[in-house]
């Protein structure tokens, strides 16, 4: 930025603010955004007049219904920021866990919720990061912590509003209403001189919103904060309408050496001129060397993240969901009002009264009112007019308009999970919703890109501001680990940022419970894991139940350890008994070997005896066979002898002798 005269700089700063405000008016943002807010919050009818004071003013807030439906589709699932690094994956994991700790301190989920809310209603959500010196947290060299806030888009201005990338802007200006005393506390001494504090005085704010009224008695002034770059580094300066509050300051925090030098300079200024002396320069050089690496880091990104719900042609300011629904909302309210007015008029009805029939009486339409008809007999002087029946056509028109509005805005019954899907399974509903949500996936992607831009900004604070902050996280084995984060550990590492998010549907919690229950029934997880993974908003009692289970597990573990010790003692005794039994078995084994040897010998003897017996039996059989053969021979001999006896007695005696001889021979064998 060019160095110019301070008086001109003040004038130019305020002129930049006025020119940027004029641009917002030219594109009708200053009218459209307050109107969007009014319709979302239910202020949808104009002020009453004499002609319209009797018209009913019903509000069927379809605007809020559609906005909530779209919002749940965008932020329905949690978002997780993951840092990755090929060179140093361990450090990337540490930064990821540290980021979860800081996001919890900032309540980042709620801020993202509000950011989307701003985008849907106003068209643009703006997230502003800053360093809060009073923030709680255990940290080292720097006190405080990074924090974030949502800023109204009507209070944020850009050097070139046609450039949709906020990081390419020459400057970004923020207007805020601040108490006068707080604004004066921001002033440097040079601007306090010559009654400079009097230039910081209360002024009137621009009343853009119908419900935005400042409390009486508050002394507030408009403070402008402008961010700009100089040699690629981000600076900021503050001013009110009449004066600068301080000179441009670096967003990059001073190193320890620079901070000490500033303190010493202030101390030297307090000393008399003839007593000033430079001391501790050697120590200053040592501190400068120690912080050299950190000094190389600079704050290069504006601490502002712009989220456009839908892009506006050639403008950094987006278009909200409300803006396109307002005409339909007006038509729906008007149809409903006319229908109610018709019912109201027909309910009261009209009366035809002939002259002289009432004679001073008044028709009040009170239930049970009794009046006297004073007309002559036979003439009906008081009668009610016949009213036409109430038509249902306006309501059918409204239903058609309502259905068409929900269709074109992507808020159908399938997305919102209404009655027609109540009898279907959770998986079937999820599939239908996934198909119905495809047309608005672009909106969700734009939100995730804004989340990634915000993570890059926060990463700068990690690299520059945090040094020695303690934090803890849950490791993969479900144990809490305490660690210390030091920004210098990030030097030289290149980190990629990934935004992880699930599918946002109204039935996501039901599906999670269903899936966990299925895993538990199948035995894939135990009951303790089941409770830990249950959504906290569904099982609000799970922490106490987990505590009881862990305490019960501790008692069971102690009992199991005692049982294990008893079993170990029994095992020791059983081992000793087995040793003795083994010795006995060994002795018995030797005896068995001897017995087996005798048995084998007996078996050999028995085999020999059997073989001998078999041989004897065979020989006896052969002897019997020979005997039988010899008996047959003897018989034949006797027959022959008898035949020979008839012929010759002598031969008979000889045959007898021969037979006796043969018989004797057979007996020897």
pLDDT digits (tens, 9 = 90+) for 118-137: 999 999 999 999 998 888 66
- Looking at residue 1, its pLDDT comes to 39
Domain ranges of the chain: 577-668
Q: How far apart are CA 50 and CA 58, in angstroms?
A: 18
Considering the entire predicted model, what is its pTM? 0.68
Q: How far apart are CA 30 and CA 8, in angstroms?
A: 28
- Looking at residue 541, its pLDDT comes to 62
- Looking at residue 279, its pLDDT comes to 41
Q: Are 94 and 84 in contact (CB under 8 A)?
A: no
- Looking at residue 429, its pLDDT comes to 60
Q: How far apart are CA 451 and CA 117, in angstroms?
A: 14
Q: Which of 202, 227, 1, 13 is nearest to 128 (CA)?
A: 227
Q: Are 67 and 322 in contact (CB under 8 A)?
A: yes
- The DSSP element (H or E) to which 604 belongs, if any, is helix 542-647
User: Could you tell me which residues come within 8 angstroms of residue 410 by beta carbon, excluding any fewer than 6 positions away?
Assistant: 69, 70, 73, 436, 437, 439, 440
- Looking at residue 474, its pLDDT comes to 76
Dihedral sign for Cα atoms in the order 630, 631, 635, 641 = positive
Q: Are 243 and 198 in contact (CB under 8 A)?
A: no
Spell out the long-range contacts of 187-191 with Cβ–Cβ below 8 A and sequence spacing 24 or more. 187/243, 187/245, 187/246, 188/245, 188/246, 188/247, 190/247, 191/243, 191/244, 191/245, 191/246
- Looking at residue 12, its pLDDT comes to 77
Both structure tokens of 584: 């006995």
User: Could you tell me which residues come within 8 angstroms of residue 367 by beta carbon, excluding any fewer than 6 positions away?
Assistant: none
- Looking at residue 534, its pLDDT comes to 73
Q: Residues of 480-513 as b/e, b for ≥16 C-beta within 10 angstroms?
A: eeeebbebebbeebebebebebebbbbbbebbbb
pLDDT less than 70: residues of the chain: 1-11, 136-143, 211-214, 216-217, 255-296, 412-439, 476-478, 502-511, 536-543, 546, 550-557, 592, 595, 613, 623-624, 626-627, 629-638, 640-669
Residue with tokens 């808020």: 411
Q: How far apart are CA 17 and CA 14, in angstroms?
A: 5
Angstrom CA distances, 308 to 64, 318, 340, stand at 19, 5, 39
Q: How far apart are CA 429 and CA 621, in angstroms?
A: 101
Q: How far apart are CA 269 and CA 190, in angstroms?
A: 14
Q: Are 74 and 488 in contact (CB under 8 A)?
A: no
CA dihedral 547, 551, 553, 555 (to 10 degrees): -170
- Looking at residue 79, its pLDDT comes to 87
- Measure the N-to-C terminal CA separation of the chain; round to a whole number of Å: 151
Helix 108-122 vs helix 321-348: crossing angle, to nearest 10: 70
Q: Are 78 and 500 in contact (CB under 8 A)?
A: no
Q: What residues are paired with 175 via a beta bridge? A: 224
């Amino acid at each position: 930025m060019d160095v110019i005269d301070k008086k001109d700089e003040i004038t130019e700063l305020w002129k930049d603010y006025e020119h940027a405000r004029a641009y917002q008016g030219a594109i009708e943002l200053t009218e459209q955004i307050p109107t969007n807010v009014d319709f979302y919050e239910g202020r949808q009818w104009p002020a009453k007049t004499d002609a319209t004071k009797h018209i009913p003013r019903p509000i069927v807030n379809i605007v809020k219904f559609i906005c909530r439906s779209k919002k749940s589709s965008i932020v329905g699932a949690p978002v997780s920021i993951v840092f990755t690094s090929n060179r140093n994956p361990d450090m990337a994991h540490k930064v990821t866990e540290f980021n979860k700790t800081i996001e919890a301190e900032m309540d980042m989920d709620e801020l993202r919720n509000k950011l989307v809310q701003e985008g849907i209603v106003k068209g643009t959500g703006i997230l502003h990061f800053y360093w809060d010196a009073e923030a709680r947290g255990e940290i080292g060299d720097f006190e405080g912590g990074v924090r974030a806030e949502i800023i109204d888009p009507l209070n944020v201005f850009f050097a070139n509003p046609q450039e949709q990338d906020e990081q390419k802007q020459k400057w970004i200006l923020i207007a805020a209403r601040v108490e006068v005393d707080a604004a004066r506390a921001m002033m440097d001494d040079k601007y306090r001189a010559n009654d400079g504090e009097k230039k910081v005085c209360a002024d009137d704010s621009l009343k853009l919103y119908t419900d935005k009224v400042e409390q009486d008695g508050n002394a507030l002034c408009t403070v402008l904060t402008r961010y700009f770059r100089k040699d690629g580094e981000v600076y900021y300066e503050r001013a009110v309408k009449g004066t600068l509050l301080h000179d441009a300051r670096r967003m990059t925090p001073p190193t320890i050496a620079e901070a000490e030098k500033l303190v010493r300079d202030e101390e030297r200024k307090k000393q008399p001129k003839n007593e000033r002396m430079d001391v501790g320069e050697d120590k200053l050089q040592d501190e400068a060397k120690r912080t050299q690496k950190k000094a190389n880091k600079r704050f290069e990104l504006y601490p502002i993240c712009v989220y456009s719900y839908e892009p506006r042609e050639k403008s950094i300011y987006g278009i909200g969901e409300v803006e396109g629904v307002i005409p339909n909302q007006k038509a729906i309210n008007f149809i409903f009002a006319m229908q109610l007015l018709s019912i109201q008029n027909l309910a009261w009805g009209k009366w035809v009264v002939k002259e002289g029939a009432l004679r001073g009486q008044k028709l009040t339409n009170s239930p049970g009112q009794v009046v006297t008809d004073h007309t002559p007999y036979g003439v009906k002087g008081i009668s009610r007019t016949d009213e036409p029946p109430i038509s249902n056509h306006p309501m059918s028109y409204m239903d058609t308009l309502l259905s068409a509005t929900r269709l074109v805005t992507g808020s159908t019954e399938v997305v919102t999970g209404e009655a027609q899907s109540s009898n279907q399974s959770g998986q079937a509903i999820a599939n239908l919703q996934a198909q119905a949500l495809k047309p608005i996936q672009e909106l969700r992607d734009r939100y995730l890109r804004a989340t990634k831009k915000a993570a890059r900004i926060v990463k700068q604070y990690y690299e520059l501001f945090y040094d020695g902050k303690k934090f803890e996280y849950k490791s993969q084995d479900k144990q809490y680990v305490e660690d210390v984060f030091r920004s210098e550990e990030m030097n030289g590492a290149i980190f990629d940022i990934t935004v992880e998010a699930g599918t946002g549907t109204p039935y996501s919690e039901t599906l999670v419970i269903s899936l966990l229950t299925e895993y538990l029934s199948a035995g894939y997880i135990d009951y303790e894991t089941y409770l830990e993974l249950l959504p906290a908003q569904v099982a609000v009692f799970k922490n106490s139940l987990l505590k009881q289970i862990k305490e019960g597990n501790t008692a069971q573990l102690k009992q199991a350890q005692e049982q294990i010790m008893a079993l170990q003692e029994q095992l020791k005794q059983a081992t000793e008994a087995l040793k003795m039994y083994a010795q006995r078995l060994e002795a018995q084994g030797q005896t068995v070997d001897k017995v087996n040897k005798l048995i084998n010998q007996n078996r050999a003897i028995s085999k020999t005896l059997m073989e001998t017996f078999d041989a004897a039996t065979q020989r006896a059989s052969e002897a019997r066979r020979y005997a039988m053969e010899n008996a047959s021979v003897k018989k034949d001999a006797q027959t022959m002898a008898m035949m020979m006896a008839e012929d010759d007695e002598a031969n008979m005696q000889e045959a007898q002798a021969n037979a006796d001889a043969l018989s004797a021979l057979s007996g020897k064998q």
